[in-house]
Structure 1
Amino acid sequence: MLYTKERGPHAYWAKKGIVDARPDHILNLINYEDAASLCVTVLKKGFRKEVFMGCDNHPLSRQEVMDIMNGSGKFKDKFKAFTGKDGPLGKKMNCDKTRTKTGWQPKYTSFAEFIQNVA
């Protein structure tokens, strides 16, 4: 999932306050700038007919994302709760193969680091 300070799942859920979704669903995140830089790296290196996956290698549950956001003190909207119990759990991903093959590294090492130090 893509994010900036103002855009992404955290901003959407904070505005809603209460969301009917399971809190333990896993998200694989990447900052908009990092996603763009990965695309530029792939294009500049001339890769063709290959698929690359990009993420920050720090998967978080929905609840962890919102705890980071609420705990930062940097947002006026406060998230209240996830109320769902059903649905898929998601899957933890990493992009080590992408990083090795392309030489790309994200500017923001994790959602938590971005929120604490940048946002």
Structure 2
Amino acid sequence: MTNQVQVSNEVLTLDMCREKLLDGWELHVVCAEDPVPAQNTVRGSWYLVAFEPETGRFGVVVTQRDLYRERRRAEQSGRRLDPSDYTYKEIKTTTGLFNAQIDLGITATVIPGAKGITMVARL
């Protein structure tokens, strides 16, 4: 998978992502903004992508709130949901990134340290 933000095949909440990881998918952690120290944490911008190595399918992780809002908008307007309607869930601190990976069941968490770097975490 490349480092550029791409239109996803799927849109996933953290719970949906956890299920994909249990099915053998990988978690790609992408650094979108160089991290910088800020008091007792490090601030930056990261996003999560679930990736299936065998088929190349992938799904971006969004917040439950985003998924609900976009589903509601689609229903109201009578249109079909399109994954390109979503914004990747942006994680702004290393603490948030660590917690998201722990929530997904990752025990050896990864934190890419420069813009454009992608690291792979597996269960």
Report TM bin, short chain: 0.3 to 0.5
Structure with the largest fraction of strand: 2
Greater helix share, 1 or 2?
Answer: 1
TM-score scaled by length of structure 1: 0.33
Q: TM-score normalized by structure 2?
A: 0.32
Bigger radius of gyration: 1
